[in-house]
Amino acid sequence: MEKEYEYYNEGKVKFLAPIINEEKIKHGFSPSKLPVFFNPKAKLSRDFSVIVVKTLSKIFNEPIRICEPLAGCGIRTIRIIKEANNIEKAIVGDINPKAIEIIKHNITLNKVENYVEVYNIDANYLLLSYAISRKKFHYIDIDPTGSPVPFLENAFKSLEKNGIIGFTATDIAPLCGTYPRTCIRRYYAKPLKSPFSKEVALRILISFAALTAARFELSFNPIISFFDEYYIRVFGKIDKGAKKVDKNLERLGWLTYCKKCLHREVIEGIWPKIDPYCQLCNHEVDYAGPLWIGNTCDKDFCQKMLNEINESYSNNFSKAKKIIELLKGEIDYPPFYYISHEISSYIKKPPPKLNYIIEKINSKKFLATPTHFDPKGFKTNAPLEVILEVFKNY
């Protein structure tokens, strides 16, 4: 074991995990090939889990129960226990016997034995066993290699009313349109390869979650979701009731995109009639959907998370804080961002600085804001002709 593993520090936790060869990582080595799954690049994802659970515990105002059925080396759950506090019980599992050995070692190392139960068991079996016969969870974290699709159904069944699920998707290529058939097969949605495909991908993922929950008369509402480097991370709240589900499904729709003139149009409804031609230039359009067309974050929850960072975590969560601030700024803007290079390429002029673009759009009595999806991207409620005018006058 000494040759394959070493000790790391993250947050308030010291833990044992496989040795990471940085050169292999640079050349596409996957953490899933390690003897026990551990991804050092997912620190931001784990930071968000800590802050979400900390915020959630204050909303419930009682010790909460959490579950991580794909625990790897166990660092996420251990960090939540030590940094979020107010945890009644944590259930962790992994089907890999080596992972169980490492998890138990890390639990003892961090002195959290009284809070954790460990199971060497399939993730879906673990979730379903709690859905059927035991206390359900206030928070469940699904962090698989690839897609979360196989685990969402049983995770939803295992959540308390108003409980929160956090899940990750790393199968970005299908969701962003590189492998459209895989996306259709996996998420029941057509993706779109475009300059703003990251947001299309995120909204397809949320739509799939909402439709999966709806089958059990559960409404799924995203409270905070983002795209970071190679993965999408979504946190959402579950509620019960057919009427709530029906209202929730009104936030699903489709997108059409004209690659000739750059016009986009959001169409409400799961099965709307889609005009195959652009309303502006009559060129044939591409399309994506069904996807989530409502807000992907909740403003109140974002603010509560920022309050927790300022009160409890200071500079340790600086990157998370920056992203949450950007996410909060994007709320209530129309779906789908623009990238300055997309517009400049279309009009064949150099791209302005982002601050200039936002300032000029605002001066024309429209709103514009940076987006977390791309450092050169922005969101706006201005029509395309106003955006083009700003670029042409630069």
Higher pLDDT, 385 or 61: 385
**pLDDT for residue 1 is more than 60:** no
| Model confidence at 380: pLDDT above 90 | yes
Query: Residues 244, 345: one domain?
Result: no
At 75, give phi and psi (nearest 5°). Answer: -65, -35
pLDDT at 382: 97
| Residue 312 forms part of a structural domain | no
* Residue 293, in any domain of the structure: no
Q: Which domain holds residue 85?
A: 5-250
Residue that is last in its domain, among 250, 266, 293: 250
pLDDT value of residue 316? 80
CB contact set of 45 (below 8 Å; sequence gap of 6+): 143, 168, 228, 231, 233
CATH code of the domain containing 346: 3.30.56.70
Contacts of 101 (CB under 8 A, 6+ apart): none
Q: Are strands 64-68 and 87-93 parallel, antiparallel or unpaired?
A: parallel
Task: State the total domains in the chain.
Answer: 2
| Residue indicated by tokens 């200071």 | 314
User: For residues 181 and 245, is the Cβ–Cβ distance under 8 A?
Assistant: no
Q: Decide which of 250, 270, 292 is a domain's last residue.
A: 250
107 within some domain: yes
The secondary structure of residue 349, as a DSSP letter, is S
CB of 294 within 8 A of CB of 220? no
HSE on the CB side for 329, CA within 13 Å?
18
**Same-domain check for residues 65 and 205:** yes
Could you tell me the CATH number of the domain that includes residue 27?
Answer: 3.40.50.150
Give the containing element (helix H, strand E) for 221: strand 218-228
Using alpha carbons only, give the angle 178, 226, 155 rounded to the nearest 5 degrees. 90
pTM: 0.95
| Domain identity same for 368 and 246 | no
Half-sphere exposure of 271 (CA within 13 A, CB side): 1
Q: Is residue 313 part of a domain?
A: no
Report the alpha-carbon distance of residue 312 to residue 53 in Å, rounded.
13
Give the Cα separation of 384 and 343 in Å (integer). Answer: 10
Helix (H, G, I), strand (E, B) or coil at 391: helix
Is residue 311 domain-resident? Answer: no
Quote the pLDDT of residue 34.
86
pLDDT in tens, 309-340: 998 876 789 999 999 999 999 999 999 999 99
Question: Given this model, what pLDDT does residue 339 score?
Answer: 96
What amino acid occupies position 226?
A: F
Q: Are residues 53 and 156 in the same domain?
A: yes
Q: Where are the alpha helices (DSSP H) in 252-383?
A: 299-308, 318-330, 340-347, 354-363
Average pLDDT (216-232) is 96
Q: Would 302 be classed as within a structural domain? A: no
pLDDT in tens, 190-202: 999 999 999 999 9
- Least confident among 32-41, 224-233, 234-243, 380-389: 32-41
Note whether 38 and 181 are same-domain residues.
yes
- Whether 50 and 170 share a structural domain: yes
* Residue 240 shares a structural domain with residue 369: no
> Both 245 and 343 in a single domain?
no
Query: Do the Cβ atoms of 131 and 152 come closer than 8 Å?
Result: no
Query: Is residue 265 a part of any domain in this protein?
Result: no
Provide the terminal-to-terminal Cα distance of the chain, rounded to the nearest Å.
61
What is the pLDDT at residue 24? 59
Phi and psi for 38 in degrees, rounded to 5?
-155, 125
Q: What mean pLDDT do residues 123-137 have?
A: 90
Q: Are residues 163 and 30 in the same domain?
A: yes
**Residue 50's pLDDT band (cuts 50, 70, 90):** very high
User: Of 14-23, 304-313, 359-368, where does mean pLDDT reach its minimum?
Assistant: 14-23
Across-strand partners of 119? 93
Question: Residue 22 — pLDDT band, cuts 50, 70, 90?
Answer: low
The overall average pLDDT reported for the chain is: 94
Residues 232 and 362 placed together within one structural domain of the fold: no
Cross-strand pairs, 265: 256
Say if residue 240 is in the same domain as residue 379. Answer: no
Reported confidence tier of residue 85, pLDDT bands at 50, 70, 90: confident
User: In the chain, how many H helices and how many E strands?
Assistant: 15, 15
| CB-based contact 110:82 (threshold 8 Å) | yes
Q: Which residue has the tokens 């791209």?
A: 351
Pairing, β 137-142 against β 159-169:
parallel
Per-residue pLDDT of 336-359, as tens digits, reads 999 999 999 999 999 999 999 999
Q: Is residue 370 part of a domain?
A: yes
Query: How far is 31 from 39, CA to CA, in rounded Å?
Result: 6
**Structural domain ending residue among the three candidates 250, 280, 298:** 250
The HSE-up count of residue 193 (CA atoms within 13 Å, CB side) is 7
Peptide bond just before 290 cis, omega within 30 deg: yes
The kind and range of the H/E element at 238 are: strand 231-240
